[in-house]
Homo-oligomer: A and B are copies of this chain.
């Protein structure tokens, strides 16, 4: 028996989570997985109920669980409260406390949605790239940080971008090994592109050098390239299919993974996994809490549902049920069902559905 903690969070979180839980319960039964589901509080709703965006109780139960499924956090309602209590802090804290240093974000084009993107179809056809983002270090967590008053009376804000060799090696290993696994599955050569700004930032120069040393020592079968973050951001638009696995730090990973997701035109479709050193993980959609459409049954639950598939694959090593979910998602797309975000109004034969109907269809 294994336990999954579900944390619906804010905005569209609860509605997408309801659909994901239904799907999870369905495969649980069908494949006799013996999974127990619990739910807990995180983000703005947790702050409202307990005064903390990540209550101690949630953290304890997350530690005890075998996996965590997260909806989304944040919203304008909590913009004005003290920084340390904001919903995002709950998310950053749970990542850090659970040691979820490896964030895997897949940007994959669903052929059924090729027209939903603002990119020309030929540029993204067949796109399937994986961004490996370091999630518990870098400028997100670096000290010193804060806002201070200078001698001349004006204010100064400061943050520290910091990485040690071992932090870089740990995430590098994940990237190299996933490149190997993907190469085995696809038959293509294994390749990793490491993104840095080594021409300006010392911290990313260490990053680059560490990646080079790892490749030479342990991963000579993987071809390693390097790209500056500004160029990577351009190349993702110019020719995203040149990449297979990209690995980068927390801040660049935040930006590039959102960009990559948007290329597919279907950020509402993309799941992510955040793993610790034992492969235990938290799974969540790449998109945010979308407060503007919350509670209106407009949200796309597929990214969360596909996060369940990732969970079954990575934490529970149950490929069959993972594929069953992915197949079901593909089938409803084939059937023409679309939530608003992935609806191409110029295409005939599509059926606009709400969050609930989409979840039930899967």
Given A83-B205, A139-B201, A166-B154, A238 contacting B118 (CB threshold 8 A): yes
Q: Out of B155, B160, B267, which one reaches A158, CB within 8 Å?
A: B160
Question: Is A164 close to B, CB under 8 A?
Answer: yes
- Copies of this protein chain in the complex: 2
Contacts of A251 in B (CB 8 A): 197
- State which size class the interface on A falls in: 35 or more
A229 cross-chain contacts in B, Cβ below 8 A:
254-255
| A109-168 at interface with B (beta carbon < 8 Å) | 118-120, 123, 139-140, 142, 145-147, 150, 154-166
A191-222 residues at the B interface, CB under 8 angstroms? 197, 199-207
Query: In the complex, which residue of chain B has the Cβ closest to the Cβ of A261?
Result: B234
What residue in chain B is nearest A158 (Cβ atoms)? B162
Contact A156 B163 (CB under 8 A): yes
CA distance A147 to B204 in the complex (A): 10
Q: Any chain B CB within 8 A of the CB of A239?
A: yes
- CB of A202 within 8 A of CB of B147, answer yes
Report how far A214 CA is from B162 CA in the complex, Å.
32
Q: How far is the CA of A83 from the CA of B203 in the complex (A)?
A: 13
Q: A361 at interface (Cβ–Cβ under 8 A)?
A: no
Interface string of A233-275 (1 = CB under 8 A from B): 1100111000000000001001111110111000100000000
Q: Does A92 contact B (CB under 8 A)?
A: yes
A231, B160: Cα distance in complex, Å: 22
Interface residues of A, Cβ cutoff 8 Å to B:
74, 83, 86, 88, 92, 118-120, 123, 139-140, 142, 145-147, 150, 154-166, 197, 199-207, 229-231, 233-234, 237-239, 251, 254-259, 261-263, 267, 288
